[in-house]
Amino acid sequence: MNKKTKKAECLYRSNFSLAESPLWVPEEKLLYWVDINGPTINCLNPINGTFNFWRCHTQIGCVARAKNSELIAALKDGIYNFRPETGKFAKIVDPEPNKPENRLNDGKIDKTGRFLVGSMNDGNPDNPSGSLYQLSLNNKLSLLLDQIRIPNSIAWSPEGDIMYFS
C-alpha cells in the first residue's frame, strides 16, 4: 500500500499572541483567523501572499462565515457582524453584559446558518462561569448550556444533527 506524504509549510510567519479560529472561505480563496490578544482579525490570500488585518477594540474569540456571506465576530463584549471591505463592526448582541470577567471564545456556524459560540472566564479558566449560546438567523439569542469552563472545538456530525464541543 502506497501512502502519500504531505509536507506542511508555513504560509505566513508573524508574532501573533494567541492565534485561533482558522476559517477557510473557498468562494474567495481566503484564510481568516484571529489573534485573541492582538486583538485582530487576520486574512491571508495564499495564492498571491496578500495579508490584511483589522484591529478590534477588545479581545476577539473567533470569526465565522454567515449564510449572507458576512463575517460574524465574537468579541469580549458581544457578537458582531463584520465587513472586511469596510473594516466596520456592527453589534448584534452582548450575551453576557453582567459578566465582565468573561469573554466569548470559540464559535461556528451550523448547517442551517445559526451561530453557536461559547464564553469563558478569561482571568480564571477553571471557573465554570461560561455558557454556550445560539444566535438564530433572525438574531435571537438562546442559552444552550451554562456552567462550562472553556468551550472549544465546535463541530458537527456529517449529517449535521449532532454537535460536539470540548
pLDDT of residue 68: 78
Residue ranges of the chain whose pLDDT lies below 50: none
> pTM score, two decimals?
0.93
**Could you tell me if 87 and 54 are in contact, meaning their C-beta atoms sit under 8 angstroms apart?**
yes
pLDDT of residue 81: 97
pLDDT of residue 156: 94
pLDDT of residue 57: 98
Give the pairing of strands 141-148 and 30-35.
unpaired
Environment class of 153 (CB within 10 Å of its CB; exposed 0-12, middle 13-18, buried 19+): exposed
| Domains of the chain with CATH codes | 19-164 (2.120.10.30)
Q: What values do phi and psi take at 153, rounded to 5?
A: 55, 50
Q: What angle do CA 126, 106, 13 make, to 5 degrees?
A: 105
Q: What values do phi and psi take at 84, rounded to 5?
A: -60, -35
pLDDT of residue 70: 87
* Per-residue pLDDT tens digits for 60-83: 999 999 877 789 999 999 999 999
